[in-house]
Amino acid sequence: MKTSIATVSISGDLREKLAAIAAAGFDGVEIFENDFLTFDGSPAEVGRMVRDHGLEITLFQPFRDFEGMPEPQRTSAMDRAERKFDLMAELGTDLMLVCSNVSPLALGGIDRAAADIRELGERAAKRSLRIGYEALAWGRHISDHRDAWEVVRRADHPNAGLILDSFHTLARKIDVGSIRAIPGDKIFIVQLADAPLIDMDLLYWSRHFRNMPGEGDLPVTEFMRAVAATGYDGPLSLEIFNDQFRGGSPRSIAVDGRRSLIYLMDQVARAEPAISIDVPEIPDRVEAQGIEFVEFAANEQEAQELGTLFEAMGFAAVARHRNKEVTLYRQGAVNLVVNTEKEGFAHSSYLVHGTSAYAIGLKVADATATVERARALGADIFEQRHGPGELAIPAIRGVGGGVLYFVDGKTEGVWEIEFEPTGSDAGDSAFRSIDHVAQTMNYEEMLTWILFYTSIFQVHKSPMVDVVDPAGLVRSQVIENASGSLRLTLNGAENRKTLAGTFIAETFGSSVQHIAFRTGDIFKTARRLRDRGFKPLVISPNYFDDIAARFGLEGGFVETLRDLNILYDRDGHGEFFQFYSGNFGEAFFFEIVERRGGYRGYGAANAPFRIAAQRRMLRPRGMPRATRP
Ligand code: MG
Ligand code: MG
C-alpha cells in the first residue's frame, strides 16, 4: 500500500508540511499548485526538497476548465497545459490532475471531451507524462465518475486515465458498485476523503468540511472495497480541505491521515478476503471489557484530600504499592489509584497538569495484541522502568498525553503481586463499575481523539450533540461499545470561557474531566454518601419544578430528587438518575449514575444545569490560581 497526501490537507508552509508528512510515514505527496506558487523556491528546489524527505510527488494538481471548450479557449487551454507540463518536468512528477470543467463556456458532449482528453494525453506522452481526469461533483457537464470514465474510455489513450475521488462520488450518492466495472490500470490515482453528513452546497461542503476517512459519515470503506475489486494498486492519496486542519498542528494532522489510511485498508482487507490487498496484517479492533482502574497523579496534600473524597464516596484504601508511593482505593470492582511518586511519568504529569487522572487501565483479552494494533496505527508506545517483581503492563500514550494501560489475564494479578493489603475492607459496594469517563479537549482536536479510539477499539461514535454553557458551546460526542463496557464521552470546548475550556486552561490540557460510577440504587447510595459526609453538587430548585412538568413526575418523587440533588432523564428505553460531586480543586469531578431499563444516554439534557451549578461554585473571576509546590 502506497500512501500519499495532498499538501493542501495540512497547515504550515511547504517546508513544515513536508516534514510532518514524511515524519508520519507517507510515501508521497500531491503538490497543490497554490502551495507551490506561494513558496519562495524554484520547482526544481521543491522537487529536491520532497525527495530529500524520502517522498515522491504522486500528483500535480489541479488543472481546471480544460475539456469541451470552444475556440479560442480550447487552444489557450492546450497552451496552458504545456506550461504546466514544463513545471511538472522540473518538479519531477509525471501525473497531472485534470478536473472536469466548471466554466459556463464549456460546450459539453462526451465525444468532444474525449477528443480533448485524447489530445492532451498525446501531448503528455511526448514528454513521458500522464494525465488523470476527475469528475468534480459540481462539474458543469461531467459531475459523475461514470461519465468521466466514459470520456477516458472513448479518449482511448494510454497516457490518459481516470482519477477517482471518494468525496465527489459519495457526496452525490453515486452507486459505488459502478466502480467495479472500471479496469484498475485505467485508474491513475485514488483520492480519499470523508465528510460529516451536512445538507449544504456541494462545493462549500467539499472545500471546508472534508475530513479523514473514518472521521466523517460517508461510506468510504464501501467506496474503497469497490476500488480494490478493480485491482487498482496505485497510491491512496488523502485530499482533505478542512478549515480546522488548516489551523491545526501539521504533525498531528499528518499522523491522523496515515492512521486513517491504515484503518481504512484494514477494514477493506477484512471485508474483501477474496481480493489480495497489499496491507500489513494487524490484530483486529480490540474489545475493551471494562475499565480496570483509573490512576491519579497528585502531591501528598492533594492525595490526602482526594483520599478523603474517595472515602466519602465509600471507597477504602485497601492496599499500598510495595515499592512506590501509590495507594489503591477500592469499592466493589472499581479501582482508583493515587500516585504521589517524586519521579517517573506520573510525577511529570502532576507537574504539568496538577492533580489529575492521567492514566486509565482497560481490561482486554490480549494486551500485547492491543498494543500491536495501536502501534501499527501510529500510536506511541508507553514504557516506564519497572522495579524487580513488578509487572510490565503494556501501555500506549493517549491523544492528550495521558496513558492507556491494558490489563489482561497475564497482569490481572497486579493488585496482589505489587500491592500490600492495608487490612481495610473493600469499602462499600454501592458502586458496581465505572459507567463512563468524560474527556475534554479543544474542539479542533476532537476528530483526532475519535479516530484514535474508533481505529483501535471496537467502539462506535454517536452523533455529536451541542451542550450549552453560558459562555459558549461545548460539542459532546460519545464513543462506546455495544455491551456498554467501554463508554467515553468526549467534550470539545470551542472557547476557553466555557467550563470545559476553563478546565483545559487551568489544567494545561489534562483530559479526564469526570468519572461516573454506576450504582444499582441511586437513592440509597445518595443517602449513604450523605451520611459519610459527601457534599453533592447543589442543583437549582427550579430544575426540579421543570422536570416534574416535563416528565409528569409525581410530587413526592420529585421532592426526593430535589432533596438528594439527583438529576433525572428518560428516553424510549428507560430512566436515568445522576448526581455529582463538587469540583476537586479546579479540575475534575465525579458523577454517580443509575440506569434503569435500557436507558442509553448520558443525561445530556441535564448538562446545562450541572454546568450552571458548577459555575456557582467556581472562584470569582480574576483570583489567582492556587499555587502548586
Ligand atoms: Mg480530488
Ligand atoms: Mg457524565
- Between the CA of 208 and the centroid of ligand 1 the distance, in Å, is 14
- Between the CA of 34 and the centroid of ligand 2 the distance, in Å, is 45
Give the ligand whose atoms come closest to the C-alpha of residue 191: 1
- The answer to whether residues 78 and 96 touch, using CB atoms and an 8 Å cutoff, is no
Give the ligand whose atoms come closest to the C-alpha of residue 168: 1
Give the ligand whose atoms come closest to the C-alpha of residue 601: 2
- Between the CA of 123 and the centroid of ligand 1 the distance, in Å, is 23
Give the ligand whose atoms come closest to the C-alpha of residue 593: 2
Between the CA of residue 518 and those of 68, 438, 587, what are the distances in Å?
Answer: 65, 14, 21
Average pLDDT, the chain: 93
pLDDT in tens, 504-552: 777 777 788 999 999 999 999 999 999 999 999 999 999 999 999 999 9
Mean pLDDT of 16-20: 94
pLDDT higher than threshold 90 for residue 232: yes
pLDDT in tens, 553-581: 999 999 999 999 999 999 999 999 999 99
User: How would you classify the pairing of strands 56-63 and 95-99?
Assistant: parallel
* pTM as predicted: 0.93
Give the ligand whose atoms come closest to the C-alpha of residue 6: 1
Mean pLDDT of 419-436: 88
Mean pLDDT of 284-296: 96
Which single residue is written with the C-alpha cell 463512563?
A: 436
Residue 619's pLDDT band, with cuts at 50, 70 and 90, is low
Which residues have C-beta within 8 Å of that of residue 563, sequence separation ≥ 6?
none
Residue 246's pLDDT band, with cuts at 50, 70 and 90, is confident
Distance from C-alpha of 149 to C-alpha of 182, rounded to nearest angstrom: 8
In the prediction, which pLDDT does 629 show?
Answer: 32
In the prediction, which pLDDT does 624 show?
Answer: 41
% of the chain beyond a pLDDT of 70: 98
Complete domains list, the chain, with CATH: 3-271 (3.20.20.150), 288-421 (3.10.180.10), 431-617 (3.10.180.10)
Angle among Cα 607, 611, 613 to the nearest 5 degrees reads: 120
- Between the CA of 591 and the centroid of ligand 2 the distance, in Å, is 6
Angle among Cα 12, 13, 14 to the nearest 5 degrees reads: 120
Q: Please, how many CA atoms are within 13 Å of residue 23, restricted to the half-sphere of its CB?
A: 13
How many Cβ atoms from other residues are within 10 Å of residue 482's Cβ?
10
pLDDT in tens, 163-222: 999 999 999 999 999 999 999 999 999 999 999 998 899 999 999 999 999 999 999 999
pLDDT higher than threshold 90 for residue 388: no
- Between the CA of 487 and the centroid of ligand 2 the distance, in Å, is 10
What are the percentages of helix, strand and coil residues in the chain, rounded to 5? Answer: 40, 25, 35
- Between the CA of 438 and the centroid of ligand 2 the distance, in Å, is 6
pLDDT higher than threshold 60 for residue 21: yes
pLDDT in tens, 128-140: 999 999 999 999 9
Give the ligand whose atoms come closest to the C-alpha of residue 207: 1
- Between the CA of 437 and the centroid of ligand 1 the distance, in Å, is 39
- Between the CA of 491 and the centroid of ligand 2 the distance, in Å, is 10
pLDDT higher than threshold 80 for residue 622: no
In the prediction, which pLDDT does 510 show?
Answer: 72
- Between the CA of 413 and the centroid of ligand 2 the distance, in Å, is 30
- Between the CA of 479 and the centroid of ligand 2 the distance, in Å, is 13
In the prediction, which pLDDT does 243 show?
Answer: 86
In the prediction, which pLDDT does 159 show?
Answer: 98
Give the ligand whose atoms come closest to the C-alpha of residue 437: 2
Distance from C-alpha of 96 to C-alpha of 332, rounded to nearest angstrom: 63
Give the ligand whose atoms come closest to the C-alpha of residue 438: 2
- Between the CA of 6 and the centroid of ligand 1 the distance, in Å, is 9
Instruction: Tell me which of 41 and 118 has the higher pLDDT.
Output: 118
Instruction: Tell me which of 586 and 448 has the higher pLDDT.
Output: 448
pLDDT in tens, 109-128: 999 999 999 999 999 999 99
Residue 620's pLDDT band, with cuts at 50, 70 and 90, is low
pLDDT in tens, 454-478: 999 999 998 888 888 877 888 899 9
- Between the CA of 177 and the centroid of ligand 1 the distance, in Å, is 19
- Between the CA of 516 and the centroid of ligand 2 the distance, in Å, is 6
Helices (H), 354-443: 367-376, 414-418
Which amino acid belongs to residue 304?
Answer: Q
- Between the CA of 436 and the centroid of ligand 2 the distance, in Å, is 7
- Between the CA of 232 and the centroid of ligand 2 the distance, in Å, is 46
- Between the CA of 551 and the centroid of ligand 2 the distance, in Å, is 21
Give the ligand whose atoms come closest to the C-alpha of residue 434: 2
Mean pLDDT of 488-501: 85
Residues in the chain, total: 629
pLDDT in tens, 575-614: 999 999 998 877 789 999 999 999 999 999 999 999 899 8
In the prediction, which pLDDT does 494 show?
Answer: 81
Give the ligand whose atoms come closest to the C-alpha of residue 163: 1
Distance from C-alpha of 18 to C-alpha of 26, rounded to nearest angstrom: 10
